[in-house]
Chains A and B, each alone.
Chain A
Amino acid sequence: MADAGAPVGPESPVMANVAFTVNGKRRELDLDIRTSLLDAAREHLHLSGSKKGCDHGQCGACTMIVDGRRINACLTLAVMHQGSDIVTIEGLGQPDNLHPMQDAFVRHDGYQCGYCTPGQICSGVAVLAEIEAGIPSHVTADLNAAPEATADEIRERMSGNLCRCGAYSNIVEAMTEIAGRPA
């Protein structure tokens, strides 16, 4: 807690206009600047696919792909994303037009309760892109060789997405299939 007598901030919330592209559409919002990107999507744009699990960057349920990279949308302010290109689970695919990763999660039973699933799928899509781009991980044996989408690599790279139902092994199978490797 701040000490008594410490400087205090503005008495009323500070508002800001934020414009960004969400799932291919330009969106403009007037927001309390304290609004996280996650709350902007869920509460203001009514894109409730991205989930609020811990709200502290520990669970990954809020994962979105922003400017081509997966991030925890709970740990960033919407106002810091002026002009960003944001993709949420709704932008990856829809029930009648699933993204291949969504389809693979369904076929491999990559979830049980489903709460972490939007974050898992956004993260999964981005993980395969990171491997494709040659970004190493903690378990990559040779830092100077191209990493491959092995089960060990997938497990390590997905460690920021928790699943309390324990669907991990099926998530690895779904991702392995999309990566084009035998399960």
Chain B
Amino acid sequence: MKSFSYERPESPAAAAAALAATPNAKFIAGGTNLLDLMKLQIETPTHLVDVNGLGLDTIAPTPEGGLRIGALVRNTDLAADARVRRDYGVLSRALLAGASGQLRNKATTAGNLLQRTRCPYFYDTAQACNKRRPGSGCSALDGVSRQLAIIGGSEACIATHPGDMAVAMRVLDATVETVDALGHERAIPIADFHRLPGDRPEADTTLKSDELITAVTLPKPLGGTQIYRKVRDRASYAFALVSVAAVIQPDGTGRVALGGVGPKPWRVEAAEADLPRGAKAVTAGLLAGAEPTRENAYKLTLAERTLGAALTEARA
């Protein structure tokens, strides 16, 4: 691991200012993704700003009837919160489908949103990767791509967002709250938080370089049957090949988002009108324009079938 300096600021704005004050500084919270990447010298921050002392670790009701989740609420605590289990079951389910017990005890809400891709070429420093080293090329395009994106990618990058939690947050229409070095606050709809790679795949999100996530807010509960269905290479502790977050109402209407298929949680609101017609119709709209590789074209079928299974479960 490369050498770095370290500080523990006392307030969110001070943390954002500390990040802005040093080139190539990074926030560290749970550390479960960042330290892994630092050991591999994929991330080489010169300075770590440890935000663990900032509080930001409570879940509180909002005046609108939703919940405001502090950035440092651990994945275990968010999944186990009685209100989340009762009113936002898809979020509990998504969290519990991710990582291991040990990792969920450390990983935070904000850190989970900011986790980097698990593309094998991002992890292999001997390979070209535009996300890791801008301008170096993308080894994945002609490489082993069965895990990678079928939609939303570009000529520069076909990496996926690897997380589960964000897929549930996308279906719930969560909002990401931030503060910057000047103390300015901002609310970013989750739909606009993760970005498509285009010709700048090194930027995973629309956060500014001095912005700290302080909370994630959920609107008031949607009711319905809430399902998170994840398909992976082993029964536990693996990233999604395809996942489906679904909130289905008794009349068959609802919302769905997919994980494991694109650079961000994949939701197309217009396609949801077809939910009463079934998975095939919805998937046609949801994945219109998909450009899979030869190795990951199976995800088109898998997404339709996984959504079908979720809809069957919702009707049961």
Which residues of A are interface residues toward B (Cβ below 8 A)?
A: 1-3, 6-14, 16, 33-34, 36, 55-57, 60, 63, 69-72, 75-77, 79-80, 123, 126-127, 130, 133-138, 140, 143-144, 155-161
Contacts and interface: CB of A to CB of B under 8 A. Distances in A.
A126 B52 CA distance: 22
B100 A10 contact: no
Contacts of A130: 76, 101
B102 A60 contact: yes
B31 A9 contact: no
Nearest to B4: A9
B85 A136 contact: yes
Contacts of A72: 32, 102-103, 106
Contact of A75 (B31, B125, B133): B31
A79 B101 contact: no
Interface of B: 1-6, 22-24, 28, 31-32, 35-36, 39, 41, 44-47, 50, 52, 76, 79-80, 82, 85-86, 89, 92-93, 96-97, 99-103, 105-106, 125, 133, 235-237
B125 A13 contact: no
A80 B31 contact: yes
Contacts of A63: 102
B102 A57 contact: yes
Nearest to A35: B1
B80 A76 contact: no
B36 A56 contact: yes
A63 B100 CA distance: 12
Contacts, number: 134
A13 B106 contact: no
Nearest to B22: A7
A138 B106 CA distance: 17
Given A70-B105, A127-B101, A138-B96, A7 B23 contact: yes
A156 to B, nearest CB: 5
B26 to A, nearest CB: 11
B3 to A, nearest CB: 5
Given A136-B92, A138-B97, A10 B102 contact: no
Contacts of B23: 7
A9 B101 contact: no
Given A60-B102, A76-B31, A7 B36 contact: no
Contact of B236 (A55, A126, A138): A138
B101 to A, nearest CB: 5
Nearest to A135: B80
A143 B93 CA distance: 8
B86 A144 contact: yes
B232 to A, nearest CB: 11
A14 B79 contact: no
Contacts of A7: 22-24, 46
B102 A70 contact: yes
Q: Report, nearest first, the 6 A-B pairs whose CB atoms are least far apart.
A: A160-B100, A159-B236, A9-B46, A7-B23, A159-B237, A7-B24
B80 A136 contact: yes
A34 B3 contact: yes
Contacts of A135: 76, 79-80
A130 B75 CA distance: 14
Contacts of B237: 159-160
Contacts of A158: 101
A57 B103 contact: yes
A6 B76 contact: no
Contact of A57 (B36, B86, B235, B236): B36
A113 to B, nearest CB: 21
Contact of A34 (B1, B80, B97): B1
Given A10-B3, A11-B3, A13-B3, A55 B31 contact: no
A125 B92 CA distance: 23
Nearest to A157: B101
Contacts of B28: 77, 80
A57 B292 CA distance: 31
B5 A9 contact: yes
Contact of A80 (B50, B85, B102): B50
Contacts of A55: 39
Given A33-B6, A80-B52, A136-B92, 18 more contacts: A1-B44, A6-B44, A8-B46, A9-B2, A9-B47, A34-B1, A71-B105, A77-B28, A80-B28, A127-B101, A130-B76, A133-B80, A135-B79, A136-B79, A137-B96, A137-B101, A140-B96, A160-B237
Given A36-B35, A159-B236, A10 B106 contact: no
Contacts of B41: 1-2
Nearest to B28: A80
